[in-house]
Amino acid sequence: MVLRWLRTTLICDTQPWKDLKAHVEDIKKTHLRDLMNDKERCESMMVEFDGMFLDYSRQCATLDTMAKLYKLAEAASLKQQINRMYSGEHINSTENRSVLHVALRAPRDAVINSDGKNVVPDVWKVLDKIRDFSEKVRSGSWVGATGKPLKDVIAIGIGGSFLGPLFVHTALQTDPEAVEFAKGRQLRFLANVDPIDVARSIAGLNPETTLVVVVSKTFTTAETMLNARTIREWISSALGPSAVAKHMVAVSTNLTLVEKFGIDPNNAFAFWDWVGGRYSVCSAVGVLPLSLQYGFSIVEKFLKGASSIDDHFRSAPFEKNIPVLLGLLSVWNVSFLGYPARAILPYSQALEKFAPHIQQVSMESNGKGVSIDGVPLPYEAGEIDFGEPGTNGQHSFYQLIHQGRVIPCDFIGIVKSQQPVYLKGEVVSNHDELMSNFFAQPDALAYGKTAEQLLKENVSQHLIPHKTFSGNRPSLSLLLPSLGAYNIGQLLASYEHRVAVEGFVWGINSFDQWGVELGKSLATQVRKQLNASRTKSEPVEGFNFSTSKLLTRYLQASSDIPADPPTLLPRI
């Protein structure tokens, strides 16, 4: 079923878009200092669902703005677009695919169709296979070639086959419940084709006790395949080629290539082309490595948290719908107020890999220049995402956020720390100290500090401009009750759907990624040249002046590398 749901008008041609454009003038006249005095406004800008609490009262927006944004959502047929996604229509039209990551975490008895087939039984078939396999490995009934239990795992993959699992792993690493299940085990990731990453990933590991999971949707990604061949060599040079069967498994949609690589198809865990790479953490891509490390029961909680948000996203009215609100506010900030960036600031070290993951989810999804029908956009889509955990970010880039450019911020806080620490005699617990910053920063951004206030504090005249804070800088605060596997799933799904909302409103295809192709194909040309120059001393040819110069310099400076070097693995 191919969706050809043509949008003849761009969203910017609709009346709600024009109304919002005109409304910007009204908002520019307001200051958050005053907006925050309106209790009723603030109260109606707070939403709660399943323990998650969103406060968006510090957005440069009024209730009128919100009403206008809901009208914009209507003009973009947001509800219908969400329904199209859930009903398996091929909304990824340039790849002619459904977009069904919600099916990856649906309950066993759910019915979600793609191309007339309920995909949920297939999803659970793989989940059950992962549960069995990970239990075998964890219990020691699946052993390595020399009979030793496999206690360490290296997951090889890049982009969506890496960032999501890394985020979840990092978040679970300090969760007391997950920690119990992970005792004596290690999970590492190998993503970059840089041999330094190979060295880091195997440092201190013994091939005899290591299981390798090669994760690649396509099983053609250059970085992943070279890393997989490198680690295969690491295993077979230590244990013999037959050890590969016991030490390497795969996650992919391309089971033919998995087999060609030399991995037993019985040890391959499938997923499907209706799962986008950056939306694949809930497939075997994340579930297998995470189950090996923490056991399936923990990962199942993560899936349940995501599923709870999936239901909420599909059914809640827009005014109460956390992902919809997040998405509409992003559109407001980017397309109307002209703030193209967003800082993701979790006040939890466990979420240190959240911003890098959302960078891919958001920027690979919405970094587009044409509408879904190929019309060049007369407005910018996508946003520039970056972030660091608070309070580390405060001592790094917050200066710019407070007094330089206006960057809308997402403050993410946790009520109960995974690892509480109290010191007798201290004013507050360590987590309260962290959270003091979580509560203070949004107000500092919103209210700022005026010259009058500084004068009252007897600040010297010449320092007043430097110490003034303009305020009126938007942020939102998201408070989670705790940070267990379930909450991590909720957070993930909220952001995935937020990105979809933005894309639906901008009228783009958030589910393809053609922009990554050009660089890849040019690298192929360079690879050929490097091989020809190193093995046949062929001169650099076919590149522009600048690239030829750089390549020649690189080759000359490394001419001591033999034409046909023997295998060399990192020694670390």
Catalytically annotated residues: 364, 395, 520
User: Residue 540 corresponds to which tokens in the numbers above?
Assistant: 């650099």
> Residue 160 or 382: which CB sits closer to ligand F6P?
160
Q: By CB under 6 A, is residue 516 in contact with ligand F6P?
A: yes
Q: By CB under 6 A, is residue 216 in contact with ligand F6P?
A: yes
Choose the binding region for ligand F6P from 157-165, 179-187, 432-440, 473-481 (rule: CB under 6 A).
157-165
Residues in 337-356 at the binding interface with ligand F6P, rule: CB under 6 A = none
User: Residue 560 corresponds to which tokens in the numbers above?
Assistant: 């001591």
H-only helix segments in 95-190: 120-139, 163-172, 176-182
> Residue 54 or 281: which CB sits closer to ligand F6P?
281
Residue 115 CB-density burial (10 A; 0-12 exposed, 13-18 middle, 19+ buried): exposed
Please name the amino acid found at residue 318. F
Q: By CB under 6 A, is residue 286 in contact with ligand F6P?
A: no
Q: How many CB atoms lie within 10 A of CB 523?
A: 11
Q: By CB under 6 A, is residue 509 in contact with ligand F6P?
A: no
Choose the binding region for ligand F6P from 152-160, 238-246, 432-440, 525-533 (rule: CB under 6 A).
152-160
CB of 91 to ligand F6P, least distance (A): 17
Q: By CB under 6 A, is residue 101 in contact with ligand F6P?
A: no
Alpha-carbon distances of 83 from 3, 7, 357, 503, rounded to whole Å? 13, 16, 26, 15
CB of 523 to ligand F6P, least distance (A): 12
| Residue 501, C-beta contacts closer than 8 angstroms, at least 6 positions apart | 73, 78, 323, 324, 326, 327, 328, 330, 331
Helix (H, G, I), strand (E, B) or coil at 12: helix
> Residue 410 or 512: which CB sits closer to ligand F6P?
512
| Residue 332, C-beta contacts closer than 8 angstroms, at least 6 positions apart | 20, 59, 61, 65, 69
* # residues contacting ligand F6P (CB under 6 A): 14
Per-residue interface string for the shown chain with ligand F6P, residues 166-205, x marking contact by CB under 6 A: ----------------------------------------
Interface residue with ligand F6P, options 88, 144, 165, 277 (CB under 6 A): 277
Interface residue with ligand F6P, options 97, 105, 188, 278 (CB under 6 A): 278
Q: How far apart are CA 196 and CA 177, in angstroms?
A: 33
CB of 276 to ligand F6P, least distance (A): 7
**For tokens 């009750």, what's the residue?**
481
> Residue 22 or 516: which CB sits closer to ligand F6P?
516
CB of 379 to ligand F6P, least distance (A): 24
> Residue 70 or 495: which CB sits closer to ligand F6P?
495
Is the distance from CB of 20 to CB of 69 less than 8 angstroms?
yes
Helix (H, G, I), strand (E, B) or coil at 256: helix
CB of 516 to ligand F6P, least distance (A): 4
Choose the binding region for ligand F6P from 216-224, 367-375, 451-459, 540-548 (rule: CB under 6 A).
216-224
User: Residue 470 corresponds to which tokens in the numbers above?
Assistant: 């303009």
User: Residue 218 corresponds to which tokens in the numbers above?
Assistant: 């396509």
> Residue 61 or 258: which CB sits closer to ligand F6P?
258
Q: φ, ψ for residue 502 (rounded to 5)?
A: -55, -50
> Residue 218 or 450: which CB sits closer to ligand F6P?
218
User: Residue 304 corresponds to which tokens in the numbers above?
Assistant: 């349940």
User: Residue 379 corresponds to which tokens in the numbers above?
Assistant: 């407005």
Q: By CB under 6 A, is residue 161 in contact with ligand F6P?
A: yes
Q: How far apart are CA 299 and CA 46, in angstroms?
A: 30
CB of 254 to ligand F6P, least distance (A): 8
User: Residue 111 corresponds to which tokens in the numbers above?
Assistant: 């019915």
Please name the amino acid found at residue 392. N
> Residue 102 or 363: which CB sits closer to ligand F6P?
363
Interface residue with ligand F6P, options 201, 224, 283, 441 (CB under 6 A): 224
Choose the binding region for ligand F6P from 148-156, 213-221, 337-345, 425-433 (rule: CB under 6 A).
213-221
Q: By CB under 6 A, is residue 160 in contact with ligand F6P?
A: yes
Is the distance from CB of 508 to CB of 381 less than 8 angstroms?
yes
| Residue 364, C-beta contacts closer than 8 angstroms, at least 6 positions apart | 159, 160, 278, 513, 515, 516
H-only helix segments in 422-570: 430-447, 451-456, 464-467, 485-506, 517-536, 545-557
Q: By CB under 6 A, is residue 513 in contact with ligand F6P?
A: yes
Q: By CB under 6 A, is residue 417 in contact with ligand F6P?
A: no
Q: How far apart are CA 303 and CA 123, in angstroms?
A: 12
Choose the binding region for ligand F6P from 137-145, 155-163, 450-458, 478-486 (rule: CB under 6 A).
155-163
Q: By CB under 6 A, is residue 357 in contact with ligand F6P?
A: no
> Residue 175 or 364: which CB sits closer to ligand F6P?
364
Choose the binding region for ligand F6P from 73-81, 217-225, 379-387, 547-555 (rule: CB under 6 A).
217-225
Is the distance from CB of 33 to CB of 448 less than 8 angstroms?
yes
Q: By CB under 6 A, is residue 221 in contact with ligand F6P?
A: yes
Length of the chain in residues, anyone? 572
User: Residue 199 corresponds to which tokens in the numbers above?
Assistant: 């060295």
> Residue 216 or 437: which CB sits closer to ligand F6P?
216
Interface residue with ligand F6P, options 159, 323, 393, 507 (CB under 6 A): 159
Per-residue HEC secondary structure of 171-184 comes to HHCCCHHHHHHHCC
Q: How many CB atoms lie within 10 A of CB 3?
A: 14
Residues in 361-380 at the binding interface with ligand F6P, rule: CB under 6 A = 364
Q: By CB under 6 A, is residue 431 in contact with ligand F6P?
A: no
Q: By CB under 6 A, is residue 217 in contact with ligand F6P?
A: yes
Q: Point out which residues bind ligand F6P (CB under 6 A).
A: 158-161, 216-218, 221, 224, 277-278, 364, 513, 516
